[in-house]
Amino acid sequence: MHQFTPTSPTEISNCFNGHALAWKRRPTLLDTCGCEGYWSQLKEPRTARQEEKVITYSQFEDAHPNNDRRLHSGPTEPDVSLTRPVCAFLGPLEVRTGGRTHTVGGNRQRTLLAALLVSPGRPLAAEQLYTELWGENPPPTFENSLQAHVYRLRRTLQQLAGPDGRAPELLTRSSGYVLELGDEETDAAAFRRLVGQARACARHTPDQALHLLDEALALWRGAPFQDVAQGPMSQSVALALEEEQLCAVEDKLWLEIQLADPVHSISELKRMRTIHPWRERLTEMLMLALYRTGRQAEAVETYNSTRQRLASELGMEPSLKLRQRLQQILNQAPSLDAAVPA
C-alpha cells in the first residue's frame, strides 16, 4: 500500500491542523555520506522500491559522455544568495545575520522556531503550535505559555538583527503566527534549488550538474533540526529532507561514474549499499562501476546477492531495471563502456 508522506509546507500544515499528536526526539547519530564533509542521518527505507517513488533519475543516465552531449570546460557558479540563508537547519538550528551565526537558546524557543520554519511566510494556527511544543500533554496554561514563548522568540530575533536590520520577523496574525522569511532564505530551500538546477542541466552539462550537487551537499552540517526536540511537523520535514539528501548523493555518485574513473566510486557505493540494502539504485550503480573496471564476475555476484536477500527477507524479485542491467552486463553491451570525458 502506498503510504502518503507530506513534503510541502502546505501539505504538512493541512495534515496536522487541529490534531494533537505525540512526538519523540529523534536520534542524532550521524553518518558521513557522499564524500568527506557531507553529513547525514541515513535511514533504511521501508521497502525495496522506495527510491523509485521519490526520484526519477533518467536525466542522470543520459549524462553519459558517450551520448551526443557537450561538456562545459568549467561549471557555472550558483547564485550566491542561495547559499547564504538567514535561517539554517540542515544540522543545528542557526540564525545568520550581519555576517555572524547565532544560536537560539531555550528548548521551547528552538522547537517553536523549527515549527515556524516548516512553513516560512505562512501562518500557523495556535492549535498546531500547541501540538508541536507539547504533543498530547500540554500544560494547563498552554495558551499563556505559547504567548510567552512567542514573545521571547520575537525579542530574540529582534536582538539578532544585523547592521542592515535583516533578521526573521515573528508576527501575529488573526489566523495564527507567521515567520516573515522568504522562501529562499533557508538552507533547505537553497539545497532544493541547487539540486533542481543540477537535475535540469544533467543531460547537457553533467560536469556543471556535478558541481551544483557538490554545492548543495556542502550545505549539510548534520541531521535536520539536529538540536531541536522535534514536533510532528518538523519531524516530517526532517525525514523528507533526509530522503532528498540521499537521492542527491546517489545522483552525485552516478555522475562521478560517468565523468571520472569509476574505481573511485566503488568503495563508497559498497559502504552505502551496506547501510541501505534495499535501494536498488545503489546496487545498479555498483554493478556498473564494477563492470567498467573489468570486474564482471563481481558485478554479477552483486546482483545475485541482492536477489537472494530480497527473496529471503521480503519475498520479492529485483526490479525490471536491475534485471535489465544484469542482462547488459552478461551480454557485454557496448553501451556500458565508459568513455573518457572531454
- Strand partners of residue 57: none
Residue-wise burial string across 209-247, b where 16 or more C-beta atoms lie within 10 A, e elsewhere: bbbbbbbbbebbbbbbbbbbbbbbbbbbbbbbbbbbbbb
The pLDDT value recorded for residue 201 is 94
As annotated, the residues of the chain forming the CATH 1.25.40.10 domain(s) are 31-80+186-336
Q: Give me the residues paired with residue 171 across strands.
A: 178
What residue type is assigned to position 121 of the chain?
Answer: G
Give average pLDDT by consecutive 10-residue segment, the chain, 342 residues: 48 45 37 41 39 41 45 38 69 88 89 92 90 88 92 90 76 89 86 96 94 97 94 94 97 92 91 94 96 95 96 95 96 77 34
- Give the strand pairing for 39-40 and 176-180: unpaired
Burial class (CB in 10 A: 0-12, 13-18, 19+), 74: exposed
Which ranges in the chain are annotated with CATH 1.10.10.10? 86-180
Provide the 10 A C-beta neighbour count for residue 329. Answer: 20
The span from the CA of 239 to the CA of 28, in Å, is 12
Q: State the pLDDT at residue 79.
A: 40
C-alpha cell at 210: 556535478
What is residue 161's three-state secondary structure?
coil
- Asked: is 86-180 a CATH 3.30.70.120 domain? The reply is no
* pTM of structure: 0.73
Q: Which CATH code of 1.10.1040.50, 3.30.1950.10, 1.25.40.10, 3.40.980.10 fits the domain covering 31-80+186-336?
A: 1.25.40.10
pLDDT score for 213: 97
